[in-house]
Homo-oligomer: A and B are copies of this chain.
């Protein structure tokens, strides 16, 4: 059986594709963080929504994220998702990698829903740069 988090992440990817950021934000904790790019973090739902609007704009409103190989390490109400995240868009000159090894931390709330607390699509590549976050 597929882990329920796979379905959550699929619904997030679909919401990003539709640019339905209000639906997307339902899958984040109140104090979630999103690594927008090396050296830049959005904190909380307001900043994350603004970041996604800017990201959509950067990719000419054509961004389609999908996941390849995925591994879910679950410990009680916390899970670390390691995933091959692929980004597709009609932008031809992105300065960011479109094929990433992402790290996502999810927490299960008291209603049993998995919510993203730390969204870092750059994975461990962040420490290969000189980024200071």
- How many identical chains are in the complex? 2
Residues of B within 8 A of A16 (CB): none
Q: Mark A52-76, 1 if CB is under 8 A from B, else 0.
A: 0000000000000000011101111
Size band of the interface chain A makes with B? 35 or more
- Interface code A74-103, partner B: CB below 8 Å = 1, 0 otherwise? 111011101110000000000000000111
Complex interface: chain B residues within 8 A of A71 (CB): 126-127, 131, 133
- The distance from the CB of A131 to the nearest CB of chain B, in whole angstroms, is 8
Residues 101 to 133 of chain A near chain B (Cβ within 8 Å): 101-103, 105, 107, 117-118, 120, 123-124, 126-128, 131, 133
Q: Which residues of A contact B (CB under 8 A)?
A: 29-33, 35, 41, 43, 69-71, 73-76, 78-80, 82-84, 101-103, 105, 107, 117-118, 120, 123-124, 126-128, 131, 133
